[in-house]
């Protein structure tokens, strides 16, 4: 599942669902990239954006349903894609993973 604001050059065949509403706002992302906020502040603001977005909440509900679906071969496994390297600890996917696990 692609959780980036824009798909960029990522081929459509690489992801099943695209949820731009689960990506940080352009404003927050720009502030992070310019180092205007700490990672802790970024996480707090990102969580606030997600919690205040009805669209994001619907997507989270859908993710929960997919993960619990009997047709999902591994209900504990959902792949979240964005453009940061997977090992980069400063990627919103890690925060989103925690949000999903908390639901």
Q: What is the rounded average pLDDT of the residues 30-53?
A: 97
Predicted confidence at residue 88, as pLDDT, reads 78
Which tokens belong to 92?
A: 């919103």
In the predicted structure, residue 40 carries a pLDDT above the cut 90: yes
pLDDT above 70 (res 4): yes
- Mean pLDDT across 6-31: 91
Q: Rounded to whole angstroms, what are the CA distances from 96 to 13, 23, 64?
A: 22, 9, 12
pLDDT of residue 101: 80
pLDDT digits (tens, 9 = 90+) for 59-101: 998 887 877 776 666 656 677 888 777 777 888 999 998 898 8
Separation between Cα atoms, residue 72 and residue 65, nearest integer Å: 10
> Which pTM was predicted?
0.85
Q: What are phi and psi of 24, to 5 degrees?
A: -65, 155
């Amino acid at each position: 599942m692609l959780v980036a604001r824009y798909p960029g050059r990522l081929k459509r065949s690489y992801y099943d669902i695209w949820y731009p509403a689960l990506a940080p706002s352009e404003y927050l992302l720009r502030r992070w990239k310019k180092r205007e906020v700490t990672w802790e502040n970024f996480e707090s603001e990102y969580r606030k954006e997600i919690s205040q977005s009805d669209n994001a909440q619907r997507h989270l509900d859908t993710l929960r349903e997919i993960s619990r679906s009997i047709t999902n071969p591994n209900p504990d496994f959902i792949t979240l894609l964005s453009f940061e390297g997977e090992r980069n600890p400063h990627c919103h996917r890690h925060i989103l993973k925690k949000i999903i696990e908390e639901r």
